[in-house]
Structure 1
Amino acid sequence: MSSPVAMIPYTNMAPYRQLGAPRDCRFVPVVPRVSIGALLSGEVVAAAVPVGGLKALEGVVETVGRFGIAAEGECMSVLFFSCVPFEEMHFPRTIRVTGESASSVRLLYLLLGSIHGFNRLPHIAADGRVFDGELLIGDRALVKGQATAGEERHFITDLSQKWFDIHRLPFVFARWVVRKDAPGPIKSAISDWLDEFKAREASLVEQAVPEAARTLNLPPAAIRRYFQVIRRSLGERDVLGQQLFIRQFEERGRSLLFQPAP
C-alpha cells in the first residue's frame, strides 16, 4: 500500500506534481496549516510543512535536506491587501487573515509589530463587518494580486518582500519533512524524489507553466515569473532567514496573535 504524502494544492507546487509522487507514495491534497496536524496524527508521512509549525512537530519529524518553499524578495502569493498603506495599518484598523497558513499569519504579525509596536496591532474584524486589510495566500493571492495591481485605493504588500526589505534575508515559508518513524524505504524514496526534482527543476517548472496559466486564467509570462521567484532548493542565506524568523517569533509571539475587534 502506498504511503500518503501531503501536497499543497496551490500552483506554487505544480512543478512537483509534474514529477509525480515518490515511489510507493501517493499525494494527498492538504493546505499548509492542516499539514501540521496531519503529520502529528500520522495521516501523512511527509509534507512541505509551514516553518511556523515546526515547533509543534519537534521530535515527530526530520527535515529532508535543504528543500522547501522560500523567496528572496517578492513571492507574489503571500499578499496583504489594504485600503491604506502598510505603514498605516495599526489599531483601530481591522483585518482578516487566512485560516490556511501557519507561517504567513505569523509573518504578518511580526512585520506589523516591528513597524507599529505589538500593542498597536490591528484587530480581527468580526464576521460580516467591513475590514481595512486582508491577508491571502496561494492562488487566491496570486490571482487577486495580478488583477488589482496598480488600481487606485488598493495597496498590495508582498510580505516576503517586506521581510527582505527589513532584514535583507530570504523568507522560508515551508520545509520538506518526513516523520521520524516512517519506514526507511519511504524516507529514501522521498529523499531520492527531492534530489531528482532538484536535478530536473528547470524542465519541470517549464512543463508546469501552460496548465497553471490555463487553470488560473493568467498569462504564461506571469506564471513563469511566479515560478522563478520561488526558491525550492535552499541555501545558507535561506537557512539564516528561517532561523531569524523562528527566533523572532519565539521572542515576541503569543497565543493569540491578533485580538478580535471590540
Structure 2
Amino acid sequence: MKPSTLLALALSMGSADAIAQTGSQTGSLSRTDVQSVSPALDRYAAEKLADGLWKRPGLSARDRSIVTVAAVITRNQGILLPEQVSLALDNGVKPAELSEVITHLAFYAGWGNAMAATAITKQVFGERGIGADQLPKAVVEFLPLDQKAEADRAARVEQGTGPASPGLVRDTTEVLFRDLWLRPDLAPRDRSLVTVSALISAGQVEQIPYHLNRAMDNGLTRAEASEVISHLAYYAGWPNAFSAAPVARSVFEKRAAN
C-alpha cells in the first residue's frame, strides 16, 4: 500500500498519528470496501485492533509489528502484508531487519511463503526508496556461537531425530544454528520473537517449548511472551492461541521452579 493511501485511511479514521502507529488493519482494502461486505468486521478492525490491541502496553509497537509480519507471512496472507510491512517501518523496524525476518521465515514457515513475501515487500521498499545499501549482505560476519548451548541442542536433536533423518539433523546444525541464527542484522531476541510467532501461527505447538525458552533466554520477558499469544489470537485465530497458551504456561512454570 502506498504511503498516500495509508494517509487517506488515517484521515478517514480521524487521526494520522494513530494510523502511523497502528495501521488501518484492513490491508489493501479501504474501510468502505470492508463495510460493503461486513460492517461488523470493519468495526472490529477499528475498535478492537487499531484502537485496542495495538495500543495495549504489553508489547511495544515495534514488537507488535514484528509479531504481526511474522504471522502474516507464515499464513501467506498477502492482502495484509503491504500495510503491515509499511507499519513495521513506521514503528521502527529497520529495512535490514525486515529482510532478515523474511529470510528467517523461509526456514520456519516455508520457502514459498518467504518468496511470496519478498515479492510484496519489494514493492513497499521501492515506494519508500529503500535500496540495497540498507539491506544485509548475503555473506556476513556471524555473531559468537554459544558452544555449550549449541552442543546441548545438537545432542538432543541427534538423539531424537537422528535415527529418522540424519540429513535433517545435519542441516539443522549447519544451516540453521551455525548460520541463519548467527546472522547479526536481526538481534537474537527478535529472531526468537519471529520464530515463536511463526510456530504459534502455524499451530506447531510441539516446537514451542524449546523456542519459547530460547526466546526468554534471549531477553523476551514472560509478560511479553504472554502478550504475543494474545496478539496472535487476532492474526492466527483463537484456536492457535488457545493451543499455545498451556504450552507457554508449562514453560513459565518450569522456569519459575528453576
Q: TM-score range by the shorter chain?
A: under 0.3
Larger proportion of strand: 1
Larger proportion of helix: 2
Instruction: Name the structure, 1 or 2, with higher relative contact order (CA <8 Å, separation 6+).
Output: 1
What TM-score results when the alignment is normalised by the length of structure 2? 0.26
